[in-house]
């Protein structure tokens, strides 16, 4: 049987795996499904309908699920789907989707204190969101992205895989994969070498990406154009460089 503290409130219509732990004064609403090994600390709240994958942890005063902050949200469930191994630290908020859609979160993400995921967002896996990162509605964050504290992302913006969004960066346009962005407004400053190495990307691919990033964003400041750099890189044999170029074409589409 799940271990539920006597002061916790768990709706009888919620589904808890056998080894789930629900701490003092935590709340689990109807329509919530908690997978194996989930832990809700004191005063944690999970609002339905929500599916939370195994080994996920919700810390005090975090709220996972619930109605979105959206004026156009029609009547109906605000769903959220969370993968395995996610950690939601204190005061994190994650809102459900609008118009019958769901907010999606992948696997093994860390949401630090006070970070926020708005309605209809789609978060990949292995991401880190430092304190007070704010994601607006319909944002897409691909795998292996890291945010510094106080970073912000506007509605419908996509953050590419293995990007690093520096502290207090304000992203109002799509962020390409593999790069470091910084500033208000956030602009490419270089290659996310540290993140790529931590991910286990071989040095040969990192070197190819370093050349591509320099050609696309640093060399143009010396007189070359971005279009010329892209044409020069077309047909590159490195798969990471091809992924980078593909993201730029999608951004223009």
> Catalytic residue positions?
119-120, 137
Give the C-alpha separation, 82 to 65, whole Å. Answer: 10
Across the strands, what pairs with 134? Answer: 116, 152
Give the C-alpha separation, 154 to 160, whole Å. Answer: 14
Return phi, psi of residue 44, to 5°: -70, 150
Give the C-alpha separation, 114 to 118, whole Å. Answer: 13
Across the strands, what pairs with 181? Answer: 165, 188
Give the C-alpha separation, 27 to 43, whole Å. Answer: 7
User: Left if phi > 0, otherwise alpha if psi is -120 to 50, otherwise beta: which for 239?
Assistant: alpha
Across the strands, what pairs with 39? Answer: 21, 57
């Amino acid at each position: 049987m799940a271990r539920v503290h006597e002061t916790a409130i768990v709706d009888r219509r919620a589904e808890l795996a056998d080894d789930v732990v629900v701490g003092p004064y935590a709340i689990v609403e109807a329509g919530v499904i908690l997978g194996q090994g989930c832990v809700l600390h004191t005063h944690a709240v999970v609002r339905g309908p929500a599916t939370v994958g195994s080994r996920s942890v919700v810390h005090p005063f975090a709220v996972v699920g619930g109605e979105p902050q959206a004026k156009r949200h029609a009547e109906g469930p605000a769903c959220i789907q969370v993968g395995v191994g996610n950690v939601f630290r204190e005061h994190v908020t994650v809102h459900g989707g609008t118009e019958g859609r769901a907010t999606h979160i992948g696997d093994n993400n860390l949401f630090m204190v006070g970070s926020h995921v708005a309605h209809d967002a789609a978060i990949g896996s292995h991401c880190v969101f430092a304190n007070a990162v704010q994601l607006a509605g319909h944002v897409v964050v691909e795998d292996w992205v890291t945010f510094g504290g106080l970073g912000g992302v506007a509605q419908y913006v996509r953050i590419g895989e293995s990007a690093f969004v520096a502290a207090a960066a304000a992203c109002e346009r799509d962020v390409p994969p593999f790069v470091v962005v910084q500033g208000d407004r956030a602009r490419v400053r270089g290659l996310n070498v540290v993140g790529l190495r931590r991910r286990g990307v071989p040095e040969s691919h990192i070197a190819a990406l370093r050349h591509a990033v320099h050609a696309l964003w640093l060399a143009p400041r010396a007189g070359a154009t971005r279009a010329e750099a892209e044409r020069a890189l077309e047909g590159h044999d490195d798969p990471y460089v091809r992924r980078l170029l593909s993201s730029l074409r999608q951004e223009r589409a």
